[in-house]
Chains A and B, each alone.
Chain A
């Protein structure tokens, strides 16, 4: 760290932050503001997801569970107690996610590899079924509408800045975690778990820790989304939501810390342009996924970096 490259990267992300911050001043429409809010929230969701997959090699197909839990904590508390509880509800969602992630994590981290993926999927679908069927409590298929954040946050632009600050702060924290000794241990877990064990570190505990952290930030993203869209829907827990966040990561590049954020932005923009014109959006998602997996496994950011490094002679370090 501390190389010119990492300063350039920091400068790039400062510019991105500035662009997002200046957007409301540029006469952006409500719709564009919502789209930018979506990019921020999904970006956080994707980055936190990829801490798990890109960082440790644990592919979860059930992060929608925590995303939905965050959203439904806000929605349900709002429905029963009113808007004054918006922010505590967001914290409650994160807390519930942490507790649930510890319980589920203890159960499924014992089984590795593809089993882990399958188990996360199964628990995610279970949560979706419960939300979908428990009509009296969760509103079932109707979801919950009209979630307006309290006070000044009820203003679209104020809520946008609130989202921007929380997302930026979270991504900054996750970035610090990724380059910390803990993050290093996690990367070692992916590459050589046996050696981590020899060095006296607990592989399972590291995996559980990152699973819980990733899930907590997914819940934060879900809670934020409830305020961006002003509504929540059981589809937030459906497995295609988990699939979408995986696709964002693959699209941006799972070997890159910021890759999933770029992937989220790219997918949301593509969906905005193409998705509105076709009812076969899943087909397009499937084809994008196929192309990325087969031809560009490094993702947009990874392939771009490869291209850049071809012009330079130096081999770039992995971010």
Chain B
């Protein structure tokens, strides 16, 4: 194994990690703020991929506009799902599992709606013009589009961190994770906050789906693979923890990048092994202790 091979894999792992982070951050945001585990988060990712396909390949819009369409569409769908359905069962403390079942039913419904609208065959999306080539990074050839994804991911991390830690909406979101009753006594519209957070989280998922579309084919059922990957990420990083999701995505992305080359058949199994090891040695996630300080 020479150096350039390792570099290629590290870079491809970084691309994968960025996409994983974009999805998992939405999952962890909803969990951290609203204490809802959204099983259907991967379905919003898939919805985003299809919306991007629709905008770019059918309506012939610019690729970047298509990603915005995807994010907005997934965000609106998420807000509707929260407002119409999830909101009705928040108070029902007796059976917490119902929340999971409701989001599970979203998966089934969204999957079939996607099949109804776009059919079952694979869809693909071209890379945006200007990012179809490759450049030399440390002596290895890397697709520019992959570098762009890494850059965008970093920008989103910084932006999300600034919003969460420096602005009033971020403060409200963090507060609602801690004490919703107190927050509503302070005059904050908590239900509205929840809907908005849900919308932002699903928009992140949809955006990731759109960015990933040129790299992976767009298929129904993609949501299920993605949700499993994201839950491995949040388990590694610690549920509800923003930076944990970033670290978890980085670990999983790099492990997968090397596993795909070294043990191609069993790469998926390796990702579970990482999760199981985390569970054995640090069941609360690698980053868990910092939850108190950060998000």
**Given A250-B101, A286-B105, list of 14 further CB < 8 A pairs?**
A57-B95, A114-B100, A115-B235, A117-B97, A118-B231, A121-B228, A121-B231, A129-B268, A129-B272, A254-B95, A285-B105, A286-B108, A289-B105, A293-B98
Count of A-B contacts with CB under 8 A?
102
B100 proximity list for chain A (CB < 8 A): 59, 61, 114, 117
B106 proximity list for chain A (CB < 8 A): 286
Are A286 and B37 within 8 A (Cβ)? no
User: CB < 8 Å: which of A57, A59, A130, A290 contacts B105?
Assistant: A290
Interface assignment of A274: CB less than 8 Å from any CB of chain B: no
A239 proximity list for chain B (CB < 8 A): 224
- 24 examples of A-B residue contacts, CB within 8 angstroms: A57-B95, A59-B96, A108-B279, A110-B283, A111-B279, A117-B97, A117-B100, A121-B228, A121-B231, A122-B232, A125-B228, A126-B272, A133-B269, A283-B108, A283-B109, A285-B105, A286-B109, A287-B109, A290-B85, A293-B101, A294-B89, A294-B102, A297-B92, A297-B98
* Residue ID in chain B nearest A291 by CB atoms: B105
* Residue ID in chain A nearest B36 by CB atoms: A114
Are B111 and A282 within 8 A (Cβ)? yes
Are B113 and A283 within 8 A (Cβ)? yes
* Residue ID in chain A nearest B108 by CB atoms: A286
Interface assignment of B275: CB less than 8 Å from any CB of chain A: yes
Interface size grouping (class) on chain B: 35 or more
- Chain A residues close to B by CB (< 8 Å): 53, 57, 59, 61, 107-108, 110-111, 113-115, 117-119, 121-123, 125-126, 129-130, 133, 239, 243, 246-247, 250, 254, 280, 282-283, 285-287, 289-290, 293-294, 297
Are B96 and A114 within 8 A (Cβ)? yes
B280 proximity list for chain A (CB < 8 A): 107
B92 proximity list for chain A (CB < 8 A): 297
B97 proximity list for chain A (CB < 8 A): 53, 57, 59, 117
* Residue ID in chain A nearest B112 by CB atoms: A283
Given A129-B268, A294-B88, A294-B89: A285 in contact with B108 (beta carbons within 8 A): yes
Given A129-B269, A294-B102: A289 in contact with B37 (beta carbons within 8 A): no
Most buried by A among B112, B113, B269, B280: B112
Are B105 and A122 within 8 A (Cβ)? no
Interface assignment of B222: CB less than 8 Å from any CB of chain A: no
Are A118 and B105 within 8 A (Cβ)? no
Interface assignment of B181: CB less than 8 Å from any CB of chain A: no
Interface assignment of B2: CB less than 8 Å from any CB of chain A: no
| Interface SS majority for chain B | helix
Are B235 and A122 within 8 A (Cβ)? yes
| Interface SS majority for chain A | helix
User: CB < 8 Å: which of A119, A280, A286 contacts B107?
Assistant: A286
Interface assignment of B104: CB less than 8 Å from any CB of chain A: yes
The complex places the Cα of A254 from the Cα of B94 at a distance, in Å, of 12
Interface string of B33-54 (1 = CB under 8 A from A): 0000100000000000000000
Are B95 and A297 within 8 A (Cβ)? yes
Are A294 and B108 within 8 A (Cβ)? no
Are B279 and A119 within 8 A (Cβ)? yes
Are A107 and B276 within 8 A (Cβ)? yes
Interface assignment of B59: CB less than 8 Å from any CB of chain A: no
* Residue ID in chain B nearest A282 by CB atoms: B108
B112 proximity list for chain A (CB < 8 A): 280, 282-283, 286
* Residue ID in chain A nearest B224 by CB atoms: A239
Are A294 and B101 within 8 A (Cβ)? no
* Residue ID in chain A nearest B99 by CB atoms: A114
Given A110-B283, A289-B101: A280 in contact with B116 (beta carbons within 8 A): yes
Smallest CB separation, B46 vs chain A (Å): 14
Given A117-B100, A125-B228: A293 in contact with B89 (beta carbons within 8 A): yes
Smallest CB separation, A299 vs chain B (Å): 11
Smallest CB separation, A54 vs chain B (Å): 9
Given A57-B95, A119-B279, A290-B85: A133 in contact with B265 (beta carbons within 8 A): yes
Given A114-B96, A115-B239: A289 in contact with B104 (beta carbons within 8 A): yes
A114 proximity list for chain B (CB < 8 A): 31, 37, 96, 100
Smallest CB separation, A83 vs chain B (Å): 31
Smallest CB separation, B90 vs chain A (Å): 12
Interface positions, chain B 212-251, Cβ under 8 Å from A, are 224, 228, 231-232, 235, 239
The complex places the Cα of A283 from the Cα of B224 at a distance, in Å, of 15
The complex places the Cα of A108 from the Cα of B88 at a distance, in Å, of 30
Most buried by B among A61, A113, A115: A115
A122 proximity list for chain B (CB < 8 A): 228, 231-232, 235, 272, 275
Q: Which 9 A-B pairs have the closest CB atoms?
A: A286-B108, A283-B112, A59-B97, A289-B105, A286-B109, A126-B272, A286-B105, A282-B108, A114-B37
Smallest CB separation, A304 vs chain B (Å): 19
